[in-house]
Amino acid sequence: MKTMKIDSIKSHLRPYSITNKRKTTINHAFASAIAPNDSYDINKLKEAVRLLGQNEDDLHCVYCGKPAETWDHLVGLVKNSEYSGYGHVIGNLVPCCKDCNSKKGNKNWRDFLKDKDEGDKKENIIKEYIKKYYPKKVSREEIEKACSEEMYALDSLKENIIKLFKQADEIAESIRLKIKDMNKSI
């Protein structure tokens, strides 16, 4: 286990930027909002986890085999700050431990499996799962064609939120400078 070094405090000593820290969160929220989702169908779900070689009452991480704690999107919802084309659907969700979910992040699931024990075997299992359940990709361009007004309105709202964050950062900087001046006079 690594020990903490004194220079690790650097990130805590710099000004916090709402825009820099939350822009990704906003992009993800807007992508999630338009992402398609499957209905909860217990029979389809049982069949799907069996195809992954799993027991529905004792799910394990498809990447490492540890007990599952969450669901991982095989293809992340966001790519280049926009909706990726896949959603919250059975064919894009697999049981996962929190550690693997965090480490995988937005990486390609095949690349992530390369470093895992029995990666080839696990890849083949996921490929079979994908063959049966993987959703058709619906690109942003296709969505814009079908819903041009709605997408324009949604994009405008997202841009406005990010602009408000930038304004808030400017105001926060002004406040920090005044607090610094107050501390000098004490």
Residue 63: how many other CB atoms lie within 10 Å? 26
Strands 70-73 and 78-79: unpaired
Give residue-wise pLDDT tens across range 53-112.
999 999 999 999 999 999 999 999 988 888 999 999 999 999 999 999 999 998 999 999
pLDDT attached to residue 186: 63
> What's this model's pTM, rounded to 2 decimal places?
0.80
Mean pLDDT of 1-8: 86
